[in-house]
Amino acid sequence: MRDKVNVFYYPEMAACASTLKKAILFFDEIHFMDRPSFTFGSFGSIGTQSPLRRIEASFRDNGVPLFVHDAPGGPVVGDFHEQIRADVNDPVFLRRFQEGIKHSVTFRDLQIAHGNYGEAGTHENVAEKVTAVDVASALGVHGTAMELFEDTTIHPFDLSTAAGCAKTLISDAVLCSAKINFALSVSSKQGFIPLADTTPYRDLLGAKYARAMKALEPRTNQIQVTDLSFAVFDELVSAERLEQMTVAEVVRYRKESEPAREEFLEHLGVIQAKQASIGSDGDYAGAVDKVVKTEIIPAAHTFKNKLQTIDESLYGAVAKGALGYAGSSAGISFFGDLSWEKLIALAGVAGAYLGKAAIDGILAKRAAKRECSISYILSLDK
């Protein structure tokens, strides 16, 4: 019996459509929180309710356990503050945060809200300035990044100086670190697994792992099954296929494929326990990629080859009879892109030629799927 995968999404109060669809397909429970109102002196974030609150009950009514929780508010103090301080004062963490803003549009939009920043310009101007600044040089007389952040004589979004650009970057990193550490704390207490959907978050977790490596037990030094699940999905299923599916279709696929989903997550749990660990360099994303390349892709190729052989055998038997009946170039083109949905639609034309070939093909497909737990995902792309 596998452990339940109950996830806690922490980058924002709601996820984009593709992330929500993936979460529905994979995880047992999906937890969100309202936008928190963390404050650090006069600086902080403005709390607000998640838009998912309006529809969370309907998800649960349709068999998807989705919950939205109240977010914390008020001054950040104590151990929580020290965790954030340790992150932001870590040059590796801060550099990976800066690189994330530079290279990932999704991550950038989560850290720098779209809008007009007055003299600083647009959010694009802000992003350009904070990704170009040399933080180490901009610290000047400040010994650490948090000392610059706490210096009230330097204002965030004053992009006319290097120190102002660095403080703007650090301020965003402070809020990002607060969300990460809050998610880790809640996950530890409630048994949730932190969930994020862009590679920079993996890199930031990797920096934290590298910093704490000596204190971690080997069994806890593992990648999250959430990150592994998303990496598998992105490797095997095209973004276009996911975009074509509505949320309602995703919910229905989950309900109709529940045994396969269970097998898929159980298989990932075995892989995670066997080898999904992070090296001393804290290369979190690299550890995820290694598992996908060594464990998932070979299995996917085996599965797809089996399906291809089955499909060719079945479709060949159907085409020999039905094409003789249809007798047109349109028919030939149609069979060139045959799927199970089209076979069903063709029942009136090709029904006489399906018979035993169709039944054997269906049984063979089912056998192949039982032999490969990732069929749950690969079947989406058929």
Burial class (CB in 10 A: 0-12, 13-18, 19+), 222: middle
28-71 confidence digits (pLDDT tens): 999 999 999 999 988 888 899 999 999 999 999 999 999 999 88
CB 350, CB 319: distance < 8 Å: no
Q: Which of 43-57, 90-104, 293-307 has the lowest mean pLDDT?
A: 293-307
User: Residues, the chain, total?
Assistant: 382
Q: Please answer whether residues 11 and 110 qualify as being in contact, where contact means their C-beta atoms are separated by less than 8 angstroms.
A: yes
| Per-residue model confidence as pLDDT tens digits over 301-345 | 554 454 344 334 433 433 333 333 333 333 222 333 333 333 333
| Bridge partners for 39 per DSSP | 44, 75
Q: Where are the alpha helices (H) located in 139-238, listed in sequence order?
A: 145-149, 162-190, 199-211, 225-236
Residue scoring higher pLDDT (304 or 261) = 261
CA–CA dist 232, 374 (Å, integer): 9
How far lies 333's CA from each of 132, 214, 328, 358, in Å? Answer: 53, 61, 9, 20
Check residues 206 and 340 and name the one with the higher pLDDT. Answer: 206
Q: In what order do the strands lie in the sheet with 43-44?
A: 43-44, 37-40, 73-75
Buried (b) or exposed (e) across 143-156, using 16+ Cβ within 10 A?
Answer: eebbebbbeeebeb
Residues facing 69 on adjacent strands = 33
Distance CA 369, CA 85 (A): 49
| pLDDT grade for 287, boundaries at 50, 70 and 90 | low
**Confidence at residue 338, expressed as pLDDT on a 0 to 100 scale:** 31
| Beta-sheet pairing, 73-75 with 43-44 | unpaired
Mean per-residue pLDDT, 156-173: 92
Chain centroid to CA 188: 20
Residue 282, phi-psi category: left (phi > 0), alpha (psi -120 to 50), beta (remainder): left
What pLDDT score does 206 carry?
74
242 with 23: CB under 8 angstroms? no
- The mean pLDDT of 63-92, rounded to a whole number, is 92
**Residue 195 corresponds to which tokens in the numbers above?**
């969930």
pLDDT score, position 192? 85
The rounded distance, in Å, linking the Cα atoms of 34 and 263 is: 32
pLDDT surpassing 60 at residue 217:
no
- pLDDT score at 306: 44
- Structure pTM? 0.69
Q: φ, ψ for residue 164 (rounded to 5)?
A: -65, -40
Closest CA to 185 of 310, 302, 326, 38: 38
How high is the pLDDT of residue 318? 36
The bridge status of strand 66-69 relative to strand 29-33 is parallel
Query: Which stretch of 59-68, 96-105, 115-124, 355-364 has the lowest confidence by average pLDDT?
Result: 355-364
- Please compute the mean of the pLDDT values over residues 125-139 and round it to a whole number: 94
Give the contacts of 114 (CB within 8 A, at least 6 positions apart): 122, 123
The residue ranges of every structural domain in the chain are 6-211, 293-381
**Average model confidence (pLDDT) for the chain?**
74
Q: Is pLDDT at 5 greater than 50 in this prediction? A: yes
Q: Coil, strand or helix: which one is 344?
A: helix
